[in-house]
Amino acid sequence: MNTSATFGVGTPSESDFRDTRDGDMSDIGLTKGHVTVGSVEIQAAKMTARGVNIFYGDKQAIHDVTVDIGKNQVIAMIGPSGCGKSTFLRSLNRMNDTIDGCKIEGDIRIDGEDLYSPKLDVVELRARVGMVFQKPNPFPKSIYDNVAYGPKIHGLAETRVDLDEMVEKSLRRAGLWDEVKDRLFQAGTGLSGGQQQRLCIARAIAVSPEVILMDEPCSALDPIATARIEELIEELSHNFTIAIVTHNMQQAARVSQRTAYFHLGRLIEVNPTEQVFTNPEHSLTESYITGRFG
């Protein structure tokens, strides 16, 4: 019956927010009226978040987050476990809607359109803002059907030939085509972990979304598969806007143009990646990237 418990993967559980937030904030250099430092706003913003607060029941998971996500850029979101980065990411295509008791305040827009306005259709939004999850989650169907699923439900392909082309194109862009072209009709779940994750990326890009959200896409993969996905993110960023949550700071440094550091539900700092990792503005960011906590 408890539907809220069904979305386990990548969802912060309530216990993640049972912490010393208000009491001990001063100890770790966080003040109550914290204002994000760095370059929050940028010129060519694809998505904008303004004063976003997210609650799970009575617990506040995200405090007053304001940030822009640049078009055809990769923004990495880093921070210690339970800092709310996944929660924030999921609010960008309203995946939090599926969680009972999750409430969102503030203003999130894509190309100026309000995500949470009653006029916006959530199905259309998710076609525009795709998502790749922490654990590879291909459908228990064939490789072909996995990639063809999005085009099919959104009615993007007129004919079978169109659909075949879309599937091939997506698999090529995900760098998976050569490995699976001879077994398109075998189960997607039979692939290796890294291949499954690339299949999930192929599935996400098959509907040509404008933004791709990635929630720790490499955390379940080995270094070789991770490197493969990172290359892919780099390639995809020429055509797509990407927001990636990661625990791996090297990964953030390698793939992103901008990095946002979250701490205890607050956005501490947003700056160009190079600056965050070489010359962070905020002392908390510095502590985190130098490994003092996290």
Phi, psi of 293 (to 5 degrees): -155, 170
Closest by Cα among 258, 10, 42, 278 to 132: 10
Please select the residue that binds other proteins; options are 59, 141, 247, 254, rule is CB under 8 A.
141
Instruction: Kindly report the length of the chain.
Output: 294
Strands annotated E in the chain: 37-38, 45-56, 59-70, 74-78, 102-110, 113-114, 129-132, 211-215, 241-245, 258-263, 266-272
Piece of the chain touching other proteins by CB under 8 A; list 5-13, 22-30, 168-176, 228-236 = 5-13
* 14 near other proteins, rule: CB under 8 A: no
Binding string, 75-114, against other proteins, x = CB under 8 A? ------------------x-x--x-x--------------
Chain centroid to Cα 35, Å, comes to 23
Piece of the chain touching other proteins by CB under 8 A; list 47-55, 145-153, 171-179, 281-289 = 145-153
* 236 near other proteins, rule: CB under 8 A: no
Helix (H, G, I), strand (E, B) or coil at 108: strand
Q: How many residues bind other proteins (CB under 8 A)?
A: 37
Helix (H, G, I), strand (E, B) or coil at 237: coil
Piece of the chain touching other proteins by CB under 8 A; list 22-30, 47-55, 132-140, 266-274 = 132-140
* 204 near other proteins, rule: CB under 8 A: yes
Please select the residue that binds other proteins; options are 126, 198, 266, 282, rule is CB under 8 A.
126
C-beta of residue 120 within 8 angstroms of C-beta of residue 127: no
Question: Under the rule (CB under 8 A), what is the footprint of other proteins?
Answer: 1-4, 6-10, 93, 95, 98, 100, 123-127, 130-131, 133, 135, 137-141, 149-150, 153-154, 187, 189, 200, 203-204, 207
